[in-house]
Every structure is written in structure tokens, then in C-alpha cells.
Amino acid sequence: MEEKSVLKQVLQAPVIIAALGYFVDIYDLLLFSIVRVPSLKALGLSGDQLLREGIFLINVQMVGLLTGGILWGVLGDKKGRLSVLFGSILLYSLANFANGFVTDVTQYAVLRFIAGVGLAGELGAGITLVAEILPKHIRGYGTTLVASVGLFGAVLAYVVAANTDWQVAYWVGGGLGLSLLLLRYSVAESGMFESVKEKQKQVSRGNFFLLFSNAGLFLNYLRCIFIGLPIWFVIGILITFSPEFGVSLGLPTPVDAGKAVMFCYIGLSLGDLVSGSISQLLKSRKKVVLLFIGLTLCAIVFYLTQGKLSSPVFYASCVFLGFSIGYWALFVTIAAEQFGTNIRATVATTVPNFVRGTVVPLTMLFEYLRTQQSMVASAAWVGGGTLIIALLALWKMKETFGKELDFVEH
């Protein structure tokens, strides 16, 4: 009877809509990486232009994500979680739908920036809303469901892109997002946010600079970011450059980047499901993050030392990598639980986007090391560094399982 009660509480409309929103979010976030070559060829580009303009467009999208992370985070604490949840879905859906009509790189860049801004808001708002409406002893199940369902959007993106034209793939993503807006009126705003909103004269809401007002808050904020570094090292370097790693490892057949992304995200979804469930059983966030950082170390070592094994083994290593970084849901949940209601959405929205943004310096460091040594050795040094930083950040982090969230920061 109790299990049914827990399941019924978790499967509330806000949780389901946040999960579906993140599903479309991930679909749209990764779609450009999957359709980069065919879409740029259709615009008349070829040869080195495909890589050069592709990197440019990814960087433009990243700037949009970083900009949107702050924008939506502040709005989430000032205007409400629902406003950001549906506002971000509307913006990235329209931008991605319009991506199917681009005729040159300039148009593509503008729309990737707008899409990036939109894509930055959905996860943080969704996790914050779910964390605040569910009872403290089961909110981990809710945030795990959001991430686990959402990450399968990567699988759909690959399947759709592999079986349709790149323009149709964009239109499908836009249509999926716009259809979610029809569910807007079935969701109520967070009671915690409404309570703080009534005290707006006494409490500063959505003040991003409050995080820098004292050392304690600032260091806590940095720890939330640093524990996520290995996640985006794996996605941004090992998986993104999987074709090049395949060549460096001496694989007999070329690696399909789209397949590598798909297999990684299948593993990531399964990992989120397992890590969230173990966290509930152990009643601890920190212990499970520590366990999965250890798994990430093992997965990185296997990926980089597999040698000239077959392509199936390589794709299996991508699944293992994805599973090992499957503490993504816990990572965002921890960020939401660490801070008060008046800046919770700001933190939960900016942290994952700043972690995504670390791909830029990590890639620059990786590229620099490649001029000094092999590709595999460079990846090992960068990956090892992210793991050490994540462990140091986790060491001083406070346990948040079962923490009461109805408090504010001053």
C-alpha cells in the first residue's frame, strides 16, 4: 500500500511534465551535433568548413546556454518556476522549428544562440519545482524520474535524424516542445515559492550576486559546479570526439559519432535511474556520488586502454561511460537542495549550464596537451584532473538527503 502511495505521489503532473520537457530539451540540445554534417553540407559547406563552422555554431549555442542559465535562473526565483519551465520550452521549441528553414550559417548561428538560451532553463526549473512539491523523503525519486526519462531524448534524436531529413528532425523537435505547452494549465506553482513571494519586501529573490556575498555561499556554489566536471569531460571530449579516439585507438572501422552519443545517453539514463534509487535506499547523496565518480574513473580507464578491440566493444564502453556519469540527476538535485528558496532556481539553473560551459576550457586544455603528447594521454590527464577536483569538492560538501527546503538565504 505504501509503495502505491509513493508511486502516486511521484507521478504527479509537474513531475511528468518536467520529465517530458527535459526529454525534448535533450533531443534539441544534441540534435545539432547529430545533424551537423548533413545540415552544413546542405548550406553549401564542405571539407574543413564542416568542422570549423560546426565548432563555431556549437560555441554560439554554448554562449546561449551560459546566458540563458543566468537569465532563467533569476526569473525562476523572481517570477516563478512554472514561468521558466514553460517559457524556456516555448523559446527553444520555436528556435529549433525555425532551424529547419535556415539558408546560411549566419541564420543558423542566430537560431542556435536563441535555442541555447531556451535550452538553459528547463532542467533547473523542473528540478526545483519537483524538489519543492514532493515530500523530502521521496523527492529523489522525482528528480531521478525527470532525468532518466529526459535523457532518452538523445536516443530519439538519433533515431529521427537517421531516418529523416535534417530539416524534418528539427521540425519534430519543435513540434514536440510546442505540444507540451498544452499541458500548462494542469500544473500548479510551488507552494514554497508562493510563500517566499508573499514576503518579497523582506526577502531578496533571484539575486545572483547574493551567491558572492559571503565565502560560505560562494564555496558551496563552486562545489556544486565542480562535482559535475567529470560528467561533461566524458560528454564533451570522450564522446564528442569519439571518431578521433576510434582512430587513435586503432579500431578497424570508423566510429559513428551519433551512435556514440546515443549509447552514452542510454547508459546515462540507466545510471541516473540506478544512482537515484541507491540514494533513496542509502539515504545519502554524497555516498552515491562518490561511488559513481569511482565508476567514472574505471570507465575512462577502460575507454582509453581498450586498444584495437572491435566496434561493438567501443560502443559498449560508451554505454559504460554514460552509466558511470549517471549521477547527473543527483548532481542537479544536490544543487537545488543546498540553497534557500529565494535563490534555489538561480542555483539549480546556472550550475548545470556552467558545468556544460566548462567544456570550453577543458577542450582548450585537451587541445594544448595534444600538441605535446598523444590523444589518449591528453585525455587521461584532463580526465584525471576533473576527477580529483570533483572528489575535493565532494569532500567538503554537506549531505542534503532529507533536508528541509523551506528556508531562505540572506
* C-beta separation of 151 from 19 below 8 A: no
Amino acid at 399: E
Question: From CA 303, how far away is CA 308, in angstroms rounded?
Answer: 11
Q: Collapsing DSSP states into helix, strand and coil, what is residue 34? A: helix
DSSP 235: I
| 350 within domain boundaries | yes
**Cβ-defined contacts of 370-373 (< 8 Å, 24+):** none
| 281 within domain boundaries | yes
Q: Computed over its alpha carbons, how large is the radius of gyration of the chain? A: 20
CB neighbourhood size of 218 (10 A): 13
Domain range holding 73? Answer: 9-182+207-395
| 409 within domain boundaries | no
Give the cell for residue 161. 535524424
Task: Give the contacts of 292 (CB within 8 A, at least 6 positions apart).
Answer: 271, 275, 324, 325, 326, 327, 330
Taking 60 as the threshold, does the pLDDT of residue 341 lie above it? yes
| 295 within domain boundaries | yes
Task: Give the contacts of 172 (CB within 8 A, at least 6 positions apart).
Answer: 160, 164
Total number of domains constituting the chain: 1
Dmax (CA) for the chain in angstroms is 66
Taking 80 as the threshold, does the pLDDT of residue 24 lie above it? yes
Residue 326: CATH number of its domain:
1.20.1250.20
| 193 within domain boundaries | no
DSSP 166: H
pLDDT tens column, 53-105? 887 888 888 889 999 999 998 998 888 888 888 899 999 999 999 999 999 99
| 107 within domain boundaries | yes
Higher pLDDT, 262 or 393: 393
| Residue 1 binned pLDDT confidence (cut-offs 50, 70, 90) | very low
* C-beta separation of 367 from 244 below 8 A: no
Chain centre to alpha carbon of residue 95: 19
Task: Give the contacts of 175 (CB within 8 A, at least 6 positions apart).
Answer: 93, 97
| 192 within domain boundaries | no
pLDDT tens column, 138-180? 888 888 888 888 888 888 998 999 899 999 999 999 999 999 8
The b/e string for 325-362 (b: 16+ C-beta within 10 A; e otherwise) is bbbbbbbbbbbbbbbbbbbbbbbbbbbbbbbbbbbeeb
